[in-house]
Amino acid sequence: MNGIEFEVTGRKGLFTCPEFKVGGEKCTLQIPTYEALKGITKSIYWKPTITWVIDAVRVMNPIRMESTGIILPKMKSNKNDIAIYTYLKDCRYQVKAHFIFNKNRPEYKNDWNETKHQEIAERMIAKGGRQDIFLGTRECQGYVKPCKFGEGKGFYDDFSELPFGLMYHGMTYPDEAYSKETRRCVTMRMWQPIMRNGIIEFAKPKDCILTKRICDMQPKKFELKEEH
């Protein structure tokens, strides 16, 4: 009832761990991260009432990369510098996700209506999303449309298993905390993805094999408006 399926495409993508986005040269991961796909899904539709959970991604096109020279302004200088960014090329993914109600936001309990959020999410997919779609970073414009997960021919349909080693999964923010250790702080999660016949089934945030506390943070506060 609360699940959606969509296809996201883009000429290029840049999926990285936040620790490698400070500056200088950047190199993409081979596959989109849980956090990046969650960001895309939230750009399609999101409210504080719900939390999106990414179930799986299907890689439709071959994994190819290309490097591009990027002009960067130097700090404390009028001169420019050049850096090499390595992007994924010709990205196309099928995504399956579902939403759950955010129990960290009990003040929105009156808005826990599955049918309402399901129908709005489906309409927003058909319209291409409520906000702009990006594949990892802002310069990587993406486009979404409805699809049936698993339909169509994918490049890796007959590749059996393909492991990617230890990889960044996502960030847990205090308004989506799932345990005592993840409250009032930001936590980074790591996991070991395996692609089976083109499909990667994501571990849930609480099931990631490695977590690291980044910093303290309080949940974001939203202004409640009375309905008349």
Q: What is the pLDDT of residues 138-161, one digit of tens each?
A: 999 999 999 999 999 999 999 889
72: pLDDT confidence band, cut at 50, 70 and 90? confident
CA-to-CA distance for 217 and 30, rounded, in angstroms? Answer: 31
Q: What is residue 216's three-state secondary structure?
A: strand
Quote the pLDDT of residue 228.
45
The answer on pLDDT for 80 being more than 80 is no
How does pLDDT run across 15-67, given as a tens digit for each residue?
998 776 666 678 999 999 999 999 999 999 999 999 999 999 999 999 999 99
Centre a 10 Å sphere on the Cβ of residue 163 and count the other Cβ atoms it contains.
Answer: 10
Q: Which two tokens stand for residue 113?
A: 């209506």
Three-state DSSP class for 107? helix
Residue 30 CA to residue 63 CA, distance in Å, equals 7
Question: Using 50, 70 and 90 to split pLDDT, how confident is the model at 100?
Answer: very high
CA distance 97 to 142: 18
Averaged confidence pLDDT in the chain: 91
What does the angle CA 152 – CA 52 – CA 19 come to, to the nearest 5 degrees?
Answer: 95
Give residues with Cβ within 8 angstroms of 71, minimum separation 6: 80, 81, 82
Alpha carbons 29 and 201: distance in angstroms, whole number: 17
Take residue 158 and report the two structure tokens written for it.
């007959």
Report pTM.
0.91
